[in-house]
Amino acid sequence: MPDTSLAEKYRAYLACLNAQDWDRLGDFVSNAARHNGRPLGVPGYRAMLEQDYRDIPDLQFTIELIVIEPPHVAARLTFTCAPAGDFLGLPVNGRTVTFTENVFYHFQAGKIAEVFSIVDRQAIAAQLATDH
């Protein structure tokens, strides 16, 4: 898949997430998808994302940085949102926080087959510490 096609596919995937268009998730995610080593497939991946949106109703995925080397995509995503309660073990409770996620994707046959993701929890903790 050429770089432009993979970039377009990835941006369409994020648009799908931002629209919460779960019926289209299978267009982007493999039936054998894994997230941080856990086998999820499309149903588990969807359940994970639906839970994310229950925890963070105003969640929106925004690309800060993207690097594409087929069949891989690496991205730094930025979020400014207000998680409803505890988030990553931190008492956010509706306060607006900004944080990033560093995420690496492996595509197979045009779909996401594996995801490795790390959220910057320390950035959230630092904001909560100064937000009294």
pLDDT by residue (tens digit) across 34-47?
999 999 999 999 99
Q: CA-CA distance, 106 to 113, in Å (whole number)?
A: 6
Region 51-76: mean pLDDT is 96
Q: What is the pLDDT of residue 2?
A: 46
Average the pLDDT over 102-129 and give the result: 96
Signed CA dihedral, 37, 42, 47, 53: sign only:
positive
User: Can you list the domains of the chain with their CATH numbers?
Assistant: 3-130 (3.10.450.50)
Residue 128 has pLDDT above 70, yes or no: yes
Could you give the percent of the chain with pLDDT greater than 70?
95
Please determine, for residue 1, whether its predicted confidence score (pLDDT) is greater than 50: no
